[in-house]
Amino acid sequence: MSLITERSKISPFMVFYIIMSMQIGVGVLGFQRIIAQTAGHDAWISVLVAGAGGHLILALMYWILQKANGDFIHLHHQLFGRWLGNVLLLALTIYFASMSFVVLRTYIEVIQVWMFPDLRTWEFALAFLLLCLYITRNGFRVVVGVCFFCLIIPFYLLFTFGSVLEYTNFRQLLPVLDHPLPSILKAAKEMTLTMLGYETILLFYPFLKNGQQSSKWGHAALLSTTLFYTLLTVLTLAYFSEKQLQRQVWATLTMWKMVEMPFIERFEYIGIANWLLVILPNVCLGLWCSSRLCTHIFPIQQKYALLVITCICFAAIIAVQDRTGVNTINEVISKVGFYFLYAWIPFLAILTYVRTKRRDAQ
Amino acid sequence: MKRTALLWIALVAALLSGCLRKEILDDISIESAIGLDDAGASKIRGTVLIPIYKKEETTNKTLTSVSISVNDLLEELQHQASEPLVNGSIEILLYGKRLAEKGIFPFVDHFHRDASIGTGLYLAVVDGTAERLLKGHYGRQGNAIYLSNLLKHNIEQRDIPKTNLHLFLKAYYADGQDPFLPYIRRAGKNVYIQGIALFRGDRVVDYIQRNDLFFFKILTDAYTEGTHTLRIDHNLYISIKNIATSRNISFSGSQTQPHVHIHLSLEGVVREYKPTPFSPSIRPLIERQFEKEIKKKTSELIKRFQQQQIDPIGIGEWAKSHYRRFRYRDFYRRYRDLPVHVTADVRIRDTGIIE
C-alpha cells in the first residue's frame, strides 16, 4: 500500500460533493423515456427502488473497505493473487476510463444535435480532454475542488424547472402502482446508468481522513441524488403524455424549451452550455480512478498513465460516429455498471466475509 | 519545454473550436410566423413572415412558395431571401382551414423535431387561408407579435383555453384526449378569434362558436376569467365575470359500465346588471339560473363531442387515472353512449364597488 500523506487527504464531508457530482451526468438529460418505457407513469417508483438499491450497495462497499483496511486494490491482490488480481483490476481500469469516454461522447452528441451541428467531435473532445488532463494531473485534491464547484455552480438550473409547472398535470401519475412489479424492477435496472458514480468511493477511500466517518455523507449524497431524480421524473411524467414522452430523446432538454425569459429566447442553450460543468467532474474523476488503478498494475507513474488513458479515450470518442453508436456504448456501460455493482460487489463481500471468518477461526 | 508544447496544443484546439458557423443577428432574417395552406395534390403553400424592424414601427415582409414538405418549403424560400432564414424565434404557426381538415400532423412534425424551436409557440387554424391573413398589416409591432398577443391575453384573461405547441402535441399523442386549437379569421384590417377548432387525431372535424367558448373553457381548463352575460328575463341581463373555476370529473360504476360525473364550480363577480338596480335578495336566483345555464350548455357540448367521437376534454385521460389496468379502446367503443352527468355550483362573491 502506497502511503498517502496527510496533506493530500480530504475531509470526510467532501464525499457528499464527490459522489453527487459524479452521479449527476449526461444520463439526467434523457433517462425518463427509458424508464417510462417499461414502468409508464409508475417510473418514479422505479427511481426510488434504484435509489434504495444504491444505498444497499454503498453500505456493502463501506463494509468491504472497512474489512480491507480501506485498500480496495490490495484486497484484489489478497483475494485473487497477484496475477488474477491484476487482470480484474485492469478490467476495472477500463471500466472507469470508459465511463469518462461515454459521458463525454454523449455530451458531444447533445451539443451536435441541439446547438452546433457542424461541431467536429474531435475538436471538442481534444479541448475538453486537455482541460481534464490539466485538472487531473494536479492530483486528487484538485479533482475534488472541481467536483465541489461543478455541483454548486449549476445548482440554479434546478429552479428553471419551475416554469414547466404551469403545464404539469399530476393526476397523470394516478393510479399509483398500476404496473406489475417486474416492470417496475426492470425500469429500476434501467436507472443504473443514471445512478452510476458512487462506486468511485472504492478508489478514493484511502484519500479520506477518517474514512468510515464519511459513510453518512456518502449516503446523504446518494439520497439527495435519488430525490432529485424522483422530483425530475415526477415533473416529466406530469408534463408529457405517455406516448409523447416516448418520442423525446432528451426529455429534460425538451422541458427547457418551455422556459421563457425576456432576455433569452431559447433557454436550453444556456442549460446545455452549463451542463459542461456538470460532466467535467464525471470525466475528471473517471480518468483519475483509472490512472490510479494503472499505477498499481504496471510500474508506471500516475501522470504518464493518465496521458495514455486520455489518448485512448480520445481515440475511442472519435471512433463512435452516430446516434446508434452512442446508444450502444451507453447500453454497454449501463450493463457493465449494473453487474459490477449488483453482482461483483456482493460477490466480493461474500469472499471478504468468508476470509475474515476463516481468519478468526484460525 | 513540455509545458510550452501543451500550451500550443491548447491554443490550437481553442482556435479550431471557434471555427463554427455563427449566426449574427444583423445578418439573418428571423422568421416570426409561418402559415401553411393546402395547395392540392398533397402539396402545401407556405407563407413565411419576416419582421423588418424600423425606427418607427415594424413592417412585415412575406415570402410564399409551394412545396411537398415543410422542410423543403423552407429550403425553397431560402432562394428568395437575401439573408439566411432562421426559425429560432417563431411566435405562431397558422394552418389554413382546408389543410386543417385534411390533417396537419405531417406539417407539425418539422417544428417538433427542430431543436431551435420552442414548444411555447402558438398554433391556430385560420378561417380562409393563412396566406391572406399573414399578408395583412396589423399593429405597430409586426403581425406575429400582434397575433401572439391576441391569443395570449385571451388565454390568460378571457375564454380561450390554454394552448401551444406542447399542449397540442401532448393531446395528439395522448390516447384519451383530442387536441383543439384557436380558430381565427381576418376581417378587413383586423383579426378576430372566431372560436375553437376541434380535432379528431390531426384533422379538424368541428368548430365551437364564440358564444360557446365560455362553457368550453370551463370544461377543458381549470381557470378562466371569462365573462358571461346571462339573460334572466326577457329584458333583464346580468354580466358575471368569472374569478375562479374548478372542475372535477369523477367516475362511478365498473370500468365496463362507467358513469361520468362532471362537477363545475364557479366563483364570480357581478360586472353589469340592467335595467333595475341589483338587490342582494335576487342573488340566489341568479346563482341557480346560472347553474342551470352551465348545465344545459355544457351538456349540449358534451353530447356534440360524443356524437363526433371526439374527446377534447380528455375524459379518457381522467378515466385512466381513475381505473386500474385501464383500456382506452373499450372506453371509446362505448364513448358515444356514455352517460355524462353535469352539475354546477355557482357562487357570486361580490357585486363590484356598488350595491
The percentage of chain B sitting over the pLDDT mark of 70, rounded to a whole number, equals: 94
Which whole number is the average pLDDT over A294-314?
90
Select from B30, B321, B322, B326 the residue whose CB has the most chain A CBs within 10 Å, as the one to mutate to test that interface.
B321
Mark yes or no for CB contact B118/A241 under 8 Å.
Answer: no
B166 touches chain A (CB under 8 A): yes
Across the interface, of B116, B166, B174, the residue whose CB is closest to A243 is B174
Indicate the burial class of A300 (C-beta count within 10 angstroms; 0-12, 13-18, 19 or more): middle
Mark yes or no for CB contact A258/B118 under 8 Å.
Answer: yes
Q: Which residue has the cell 379502446?
A: B329
Mark yes or no for CB contact A244/B175 under 8 Å.
Answer: no
- A13 part of a folded domain: yes
Using CA coordinates, name the residue in chain A closest to B165.
A258
Closest CA to B10 of A308, A133, A106: A133
User: Measured between beta carbons, which residues in chain A are less than 8 angstroms from residue B255?
Assistant: none
Alpha carbon dihedral B250, B253, B258, B260, in 10-degree steps, equals -30
Sign (positive/negative) of CA torsion B199, B204, B208, B214? positive
User: Measured between beta carbons, which residues in chain A are less than 8 angstroms from residue B174?
Assistant: 241-244
pLDDT band, very low/low/confident/very high, at A1 (cuts 50, 70, 90): very low
Half-sphere exposure of residue A285: CA atoms within 13 angstroms, side-chain side? 32
Closest CA to A302 of A182, A165, A140, A160: A140
Residue A298 scores a pLDDT above 80: yes
Mark yes or no for CB contact B170/A126 under 8 Å.
Answer: no
Q: What is the C-alpha to C-alpha distance for residues B156 and B286, in angstroms, rounded to an integer?
A: 26
Closest CA to B202 of B231, B171, B229: B171
What is the tens place of the pLDDT at every residue in A235-290?
A: 999 999 989 999 888 999 999 888 888 787 788 888 899 999 999 999 999 999 99
Q: What is the C-alpha to C-alpha distance for residues B291 and B265, in angstroms, rounded to an integer?
A: 9
Using CA coordinates, name the residue in chain A closest to B91.
A265
A353 touches chain B (CB under 8 A): no
Across the interface, of A127, A254, A257, the residue whose CB is closest to B17 is A127
User: Measured between beta carbons, which residues in chain B are less than 8 angstroms from residue A174?
Assistant: 321-322
pLDDT band, very low/low/confident/very high, at B1 (cuts 50, 70, 90): low
Residue B323 scores a pLDDT above 60: yes
Which whole number is the average pLDDT over A50-57?
93
B353 touches chain A (CB under 8 A): no
- A256 part of a folded domain: yes
- A360 part of a folded domain: no
pLDDT band, very low/low/confident/very high, at B286 (cuts 50, 70, 90): confident
Residue B60 scores a pLDDT above 60: yes
Using CA coordinates, name the residue in chain B closest to A178.
B324
Which whole number is the average pLDDT over B66-73?
87
User: Measured between beta carbons, which residues in chain B are less than 8 angstroms from residue A254?
Assistant: 119
Residue B180 scores a pLDDT above 90: yes
Which whole number is the average pLDDT over A121-129?
90
Q: Let me know the angle formed at the C-alpha of A268 by A266 and A274, rounded to the nearest 5 degrees.
A: 125
Using CA coordinates, name the residue in chain B closest to A170.
B321
Asked if B193 contacts B184 with a C-beta cutoff of 8 angstroms, the reply is: yes
Question: What is the interface pTM, i.e. ipTM, of the complex?
Answer: 0.85
Q: What is the C-alpha to C-alpha distance for residues A337 and A94, in angstroms, rounded to an integer?
A: 12
B119 touches chain A (CB under 8 A): yes
Q: What is the C-alpha to C-alpha distance for residues B105 and B91, in angstroms, rounded to an integer?
A: 18
What is the tens place of the pLDDT at every residue in B246-283?
A: 888 888 888 888 899 999 888 888 777 776 666 777 78
Using CA coordinates, name the residue in chain B closest to A175.
B321
Residue B7 scores a pLDDT above 80: no
CATH number of A29's domain? 1.20.1740.10
Half-sphere exposure of residue B66: CA atoms within 13 angstroms, side-chain side? 6
User: How much is the pLDDT for B352?
Assistant: 65
What is the tens place of the pLDDT at every residue in A129-176?
A: 999 999 998 888 999 999 999 999 888 888 888 888 888 889 888 888
A244 touches chain B (CB under 8 A): yes
User: How much is the pLDDT for A51?
Assistant: 94
Average pLDDT over all residues of chain B: 85
Across the interface, of A118, A126, A265, the residue whose CB is closest to B88 is A265
Longest dimension (CA), chain A: 74
Contacts of A50 (CB under 8 A, 6+ apart): A188, A189, A191, A192, A195, A226
A7 touches chain B (CB under 8 A): no
A160 touches chain B (CB under 8 A): no
From B92's Cα to the closest Cα of chain A, the distance in A is 14
- A362 part of a folded domain: no
User: Measured between beta carbons, which residues in chain A are less than 8 angstroms from residue B115?
Assistant: 113-115, 268
How far does CA A285 lie from the centroid of its chain? Answer: 10
Please give the C-alpha separations between residue B55 and each of B38, B51, B59, B121, B141, in angstroms, as whole numbers. Answer: 36, 13, 10, 26, 11
Using CA coordinates, name the residue in chain B closest to A116.
B20
Residue A78 scores a pLDDT above 90: no
Please report, as a single letter, which amino acid is at residue B74. L
A360 touches chain B (CB under 8 A): no
Residue A2 scores a pLDDT above 60: no
The percentage of chain A sitting over the pLDDT mark of 70, rounded to a whole number, equals: 99
pLDDT band, very low/low/confident/very high, at B351 (cuts 50, 70, 90): low
From B110's Cα to the closest Cα of chain A, the distance in A is 14
Stated as kind and residue range, the H or E segment containing B246 is: strand B237-252
3-state secondary structure of B252: strand
A123 touches chain B (CB under 8 A): yes
Mark yes or no for CB contact B21/A118 under 8 Å.
Answer: yes
Residue B73 scores a pLDDT above 70: yes
Beta bridge partners, B94, equal B35, B124
Fold exhibited by the domain B222-355: GMP Synthetase; Chain A, domain 3 (3.30.300)
What is the tens place of the pLDDT at every residue in B134-150?
A: 888 888 888 888 899 99
Using CA coordinates, name the residue in chain A closest to B177.
A241
B170 touches chain A (CB under 8 A): yes
Which whole number is the average pLDDT over B156-185?
90
Mark yes or no for CB contact B322/A174 under 8 Å.
Answer: yes
Q: Which residue has the cell 494531473?
A: A137
Domains identified in chain A, total number: 1
What are the DSSP calls for A9-67, one per residue? -B-TTHHHHHHHHHHSSGGGGTHHHHHHHHHGGGHHHHHHHHHHHHHHHHHHHHHHHHH
Please report, as a single letter, which amino acid is at residue B146. Y
Contacts of B337 (CB under 8 A, 6+ apart): B306
User: How much is the pLDDT for A95?
Assistant: 93
Full strand arrangement of the beta sheet holding B44-53? B58-67, B44-53, B33-38, B92-96, B122-127, B180-187, B190-200, B203-209
Which whole number is the average pLDDT over B188-205?
90
Q: Let me know the angle formed at the C-alpha of A173 by B243 and B266, rounded to the nearest 5 degrees.
A: 15
Q: Is B353 left (phi over 0), alpha (psi -120 to 50) or beta?
A: alpha
What is the tens place of the pLDDT at every residue in B91-123?
A: 899 999 999 999 888 888 888 888 888 888 899
Instruction: For strands B92-96 and B122-127, give the pairing.
Output: parallel
User: How much is the pLDDT for B276?
Assistant: 67
Residue ranges making up the domain that contains A212: 6-355
What are the structural domain ranges in chain B? Answer: 25-209, 222-355
Closest CA to B104 of B114, B117, B95, B92: B95
Beta bridge partners, A344, equal none
Which whole number is the average pLDDT over B70-96?
86
Across the interface, of B89, B167, B321, the residue whose CB is closest to A265 is B89
How many CB pairs (< 8 A) connect A and B? 83
Closest CA to A202 of A15, A6, A5, A2: A15
A254 touches chain B (CB under 8 A): yes
pLDDT band, very low/low/confident/very high, at B14 (cuts 50, 70, 90): low
Across the interface, of B17, B318, B323, the residue whose CB is closest to A123 is B17
- A196 part of a folded domain: yes
Q: What is the C-alpha to C-alpha distance for residues A211 and A11, in angstroms, rounded to an integer?
A: 9
Strands (E), B171-224: 180-187, 190-200, 203-209
Among A138-147, A233-242, A298-307, B238-247, where is mean pLDDT lowest? Answer: B238-247
Among A192-196, B54-58, B313-317, where is mean pLDDT lowest? Answer: B54-58
Across the interface, of A120, A134, A258, the residue whose CB is closest to B120 is A258
Using CA coordinates, name the residue in chain A closest to B115.
A114
B175 touches chain A (CB under 8 A): yes
How far does CA B14 lie from the centroid of its chain? Answer: 45
What is the tens place of the pLDDT at every residue in B34-55?
A: 999 988 888 889 899 988 888 8
Q: What is the C-alpha to C-alpha distance for residues A199 and A203, in angstroms, rounded to an integer?
A: 8
Closest CA to A220 of A357, A17, A359: A17
Fill in the DSSP letter of residue B335: G
